[in-house]
Amino acid sequence: MTSAIGSLVRAARIICLSGAVGILLGNHAIAGVIEIFHADSLGGPMSWLKKAFEAKHSGVTINLTPGTSRQLADRILAGEICDVFAPSSSPIADELVTKNAADWSVVFSANEMAVITAKGNPQGIHKIADLARPGVTFVRITGEKDLGTGRTIEFLKRAATLEGKPELAQKIIDAAGKQNSVPDTVRAVREGNANAGVVYYSAAVAAKSDLEIIRFPASVNLSDAIQNAAVVPHTAKNPKEATEFVRFILSAEGQGILLQTGQPPVVPAIRKGKIPPELTN
């Protein structure tokens, strides 16, 4: 009897110890599928964040769905399942909060507009005025709901003005071959169907092995206005896992990935709404 009681006591201790370990690890022991909707401009950074996060959590699979921030937000507001939404616009992220489709938003990185050319820059394009030269074929984003459309136009106007030739901006805009999205614009230049295009710096970095990147001063590149945010919508199927992914984005490792992929992290991150405790520091 004594032996049996002793065995039960030892078993109870093991169960208690296991429970304690489970409590200690519970905040980080996650598993499941994380559905992430993200802006096209975040394609490169998100692919690297996905690899790093899945390597840390063997039971997690991340599915990435790219698109324009506006269209993706509309899908979430219509009730589509999404665990993490990462638009290239903090106002769109905040919209989900104000419409009671999410409780909080976090701005985690910035971006900028840049000019891309074929590898080696055979046309010798170094400034906006070069895009108006005879024989230079230029493409731009034109999607109706793509924030990159208006941002490209504003960038060209600012840069042309800085160069002292504001009249060239509209000429370049009107003469541009039309591409519907950021990936389309990158593809047109990469495949030689255009000499140059304007895209987000992060999208250019993701394709840097095939392209040349021409960057512009902060006064014209819209880095002051382009901010990427993250929210966990109320349609999330796995909110715990989703919040852990956002926590990873804000970590030192996540910020390092953002920096390497053309997304300078915003430090400290800008937090709005009812932020979960695990994201407060």
Extents of the domains making up the chain = 31-110+226-279, 113-214
Answer yes or no: is pLDDT of 220 > 60. Answer: yes
Q: Structure pTM?
A: 0.79
Determine the average pLDDT of the residues in 45-59.
96
Q: In the chain, what is the straight-line distance between the N-terminal and C-terminal CA atoms, in Å?
A: 53
Higher-scoring residue by pLDDT: 16, 152? 152
Helix (H, G, I), strand (E, B) or coil at 125: coil
Q: Which CATH number is 113-214's, of 3.30.450.20, 3.40.190.10, 3.60.21.10, 3.40.50.300?
A: 3.40.190.10
Determine the average pLDDT of the residues in 134-145.
92
For every residue of 153-202, DSSP letters joined together read HHHHHHHHHHTT-THHHHHHHHHPEEESSHHHHHHHHHTTS-SEEEEEHH
Instruction: Find the helix or strand (DSSP H, E) in which 257 lies.
Output: helix 252-260
Answer yes or no: is pLDDT of 4 > 50. Answer: no
Answer yes or no: is pLDDT of 11 > 70. Answer: no
Q: Which CATH number is 31-110+226-279's, of 3.40.190.10, 1.10.3470.10, 3.40.50.720, 3.30.230.70?
A: 3.40.190.10
* Same CATH fold assignment for domains 31-110+226-279 and 113-214: yes
pLDDT score, position 28: 52
Residue 72 to residue 62: CA distance in whole angstroms: 17
Band the pLDDT of 30: cuts 50, 70, 90. low
